A and B are shown apart, each in its own frame.
Chain A
Amino acid sequence: MRNKITILLLSLSLILALLPLTANRSFTEKPGKLLSDVLDEDVTFSVDQVARFIVTEDSTIRIIDLRKPEEFRKLCLPGSVNLPYAEFIGTDPDMYLNNRNIKTIFYSNSDLDANYALVYARGLGYELTYAMEGGMTEWMNTVMESKFSGERISARENAVFEIRTRAGKLFTELNSLPESEKVRFMESKKFSARKLDGGCE
């Protein structure tokens, strides 16, 4: 019996020694399901939708900026947090995506990094992750350069225009600050948001 167990354990460990094993973190979703999930229309938000979240300070949304820190310091969406894409894929995403009740929206300068991050996060099982369509480029083109021309405006167009104007104002105010002031402002905004959530104490 002893010999059998010894031979079995030695043989199994020999099989293991021949395998390319690493302590890895691989996608947990099945490929077919992941593909259909990430090709669904509902995995992205338009810049108008993100603008609305920013203006209403929606606390069920977290916006993650995947660009480099220097780009983030220079220009960023109000309420966003910086997590460079290289760092995102190099570390355990649970540190950033651990609250599974909050929707996380990734954005970068265009579509690539945000969509890589979207698939990466969903592949690892984080379902409430999304990408902002077009990134900062689309934000600048659509929200910041929003103009109304013509004599008449429908109620719907008016609502969109108003959100863009308010979001653009917040964006301009934040990004016009010197960098040190910007950091302080974003910290104070976070603090006041928590105070509001606290309720009667």
Chain B
Amino acid sequence: MKLLKQYWLVLLILLLTAAAVLARTFCHSIFKYDAGRMAKPSALKTNLITEEQLSSLKGAVLLLNLGETGISGDKHGNFTMKVNPDSILVPKYLDKIVSQKGPVILSCSENSVSARIWMVLTQLGIRNLFILTADQDPEILKKEFRPDTLSMPEL
């Protein structure tokens, strides 16, 4: 008791620091991770998944349909959640995504929206997040360019 009285200020500072650190550690609504490290799967293209590869995923899958609203599930523990992109951070949806133990798949008609949502959610620390795409690598240029060797630019 005497020791407590002597060191009350030290204990107070330690408790406040520990509380702030714990709050920050377990908070999923702030950016705190190294941005480059979290974005790496997008550079390696390991965050992309096709329909055929969906079935090979382990664990219950949460499919996020961006652009509609509602939640439904099946007997295998897979969930489909429809959510507007601008509501993705609403606690009702974010908590479901955070608590998901298996893969989370982003599905949208526009890859641009999926890409932006992927980056925001990944930077919040959500791992196991994939974008559903039609091709394995949509970043391959399929168009051919035919050079015109007769044209000369002005120098």
A residues within 8 Å of B by Cβ?
4, 7-8, 11-12, 15, 19, 22, 24-32, 34-36, 38-39, 44, 67, 71, 75, 85-86, 89-91, 108-116, 118-120, 123-124, 131, 133, 136-137, 140-141, 144, 169-170, 172-177, 185, 188
Contact = CB atoms under 8 A, between A and B. Distances in A.
B80 interface: no
Q: Interface range on chain B: under 10, 10 to 19, 20 to 34, or 35 or more?
A: 35 or more
Contacts, number: 160
Interface string B1-26: 00000110110011001100100010
A188 B148 CA distance: 21
27 contacts: A11-B10, A11-B14, A19-B21, A25-B34, A26-B31, A27-B35, A27-B123, A29-B31, A31-B30, A31-B124, A85-B42, A89-B35, A89-B36, A89-B39, A89-B42, A111-B111, A112-B112, A120-B35, A124-B35, A133-B112, A136-B141, A136-B143, A140-B143, A169-B151, A176-B148, A177-B153, A185-B153
Interface in B57-104: 85-86, 88-89
B14 A8 contact: yes
B143 A112 contact: no
A71 B116 contact: no
Nearest to B37: A24
A85 B36 CA distance: 11
A174 B155 CA distance: 11
Given A123-B123, A173-B153, A4 B9 contact: yes
Contacts of B138: 109-112
A22 B9 CA distance: 29
B35 A25 contact: yes
Interface string B35-50: 1110110111000100
A143 B36 CA distance: 34
Contacts of B18: 15
Most chain A Cβ neighbours within 10 Å, of B18, B43, B140, B153: B153
A140 B141 CA distance: 10
